Chain A
Amino acid sequence: MYIECKDLLKTYRSEGTILTAVDHVDFGVERGEFVVILGHSGSGKTTLLSLIGGLTNPDGGTVCIDNIDNWQQTDGELAVMRNKRIGFIFQFASLIPTLTVLENILLPLSFTNDPQGDRQYALELLERVGLSGRQDDLPGQLSGGQQRRVAIARSFINRPAIILADEPTGDLDEVTEQEILAIFKKFNQRGVTFLVVTHNKDLALDQDKPRFFDMQNGSLRETSAL
Chain B
Amino acid sequence: MREYFEKQLNILDYALSSLWRRRGKNFSVFFVFTLVISLLASFQFLTGSLLDSAQTGLRHAPEITVQRMVAGRQESIPVAYADKIKGIFGVRKVVERVWGYTFNEVTGSNITVMALPHVPKLGQETLGEGGFWVEGEGGGAVIGQGVLQDLDLGNRRSFSFFRPDLTLKSFAVRGIFAPESNILTYDLVITTLDDGRDLFGLDAGVATDLLVEVVNPMEIATIARKISETLPGTRVVTRPQILKTYQAVFSWRSGFAAICLLSALAAFIILAWDKASGMSPEERREISILKILGWQTPDVLMVRFWESFVMALAAFACGTILAYVHIGYFQAQLFRSVMMGWSVLRPGLSFTPAVGGADLLLLFALSVLPYLAATVIPAWRCASVATDSALRG
Contacts and interface: CB of A to CB of B under 8 A. Distances in A.
A178 interface: no
B294 interface: yes
B7 to A, nearest CB: 5
B285 to A, nearest CB: 8
B369 to A, nearest CB: 28
Contacts of A108: 293-294
Nearest to B386: A56
Contacts of A92: 390, 393
Contacts of B393: 90-92, 94
Contacts of A133: none
B391 interface: yes
A56 B7 CA distance: 26
Contact of A107 (B3, B293, B297, B386): B293
Contact of A96 (B289, B297, B388, B392): B289
Contact of A111 (B10, B285, B387): B10
Contacts of B293: 82-83, 88, 107-108, 154
Contacts, number: 77
Given A56-B387, A98-B21, A82 B14 contact: no
Given A55-B292, A111-B7, A50 B21 contact: no
Interface stretch (A30-38, A72-80, A183-191, A218-226): A72-80
A75 B295 contact: no
B337 interface: no
A55 B294 contact: no
B294 A80 contact: yes
A82 B292 CA distance: 7
Sorting the interface of chain B by its residue count into under 10, 10 to 19, 20 to 34 or 35 or more gives 20 to 34
A132 interface: no
Contacts of B18: 98
Contacts of B11: 110
Most A C-beta atoms less than 10 A away, residue of B6, B21, B22, B296: B296
A91 B391 contact: yes
Interface string B1-29: 00100110011001001100110000000
Contacts of B388: 46, 50, 53, 55-56
Sorting the interface of chain A by its residue count into under 10, 10 to 19, 20 to 34 or 35 or more gives 20 to 34
A23 interface: no
B291 to A, nearest CB: 7
Interface in B356-393: 386-388, 390-393
Contacts of A90: 292, 390-391, 393
Given A96-B286, A98-B21, A110-B14, A79 B392 contact: no
B208 to A, nearest CB: 73
B294 A97 contact: no
B295 A79 contact: yes
Contact of B294 (A82, A94, A103): A82
Interface in A4-42: none
Interface in B246-300: 282, 285-286, 289-297, 299
B360 to A, nearest CB: 34
Nearest to A113: B6
A82 B293 CA distance: 6
B16 to A, nearest CB: 13
B172 to A, nearest CB: 73
Most B C-beta atoms less than 10 A away, residue of A76, A80, A90, A111: A111
A92 B292 CA distance: 14
A153 to B, nearest CB: 13
B387 A110 contact: no
Interface string A91-122: 11010111100010001101101000000000
B392 A91 contact: yes
Contact of A88 (B6, B296, B391, B392): B391
Given A91-B393, A111-B299, 19 more contacts: A46-B391, A49-B391, A50-B391, A53-B292, A55-B388, A56-B387, A56-B388, A76-B296, A81-B294, A83-B295, A92-B390, A92-B393, A94-B292, A94-B393, A98-B22, A107-B293, A110-B295, A113-B6, A154-B293
Interface of B: 3, 6-7, 10-11, 14, 17-18, 21-22, 282, 285-286, 289-297, 299, 386-388, 390-393
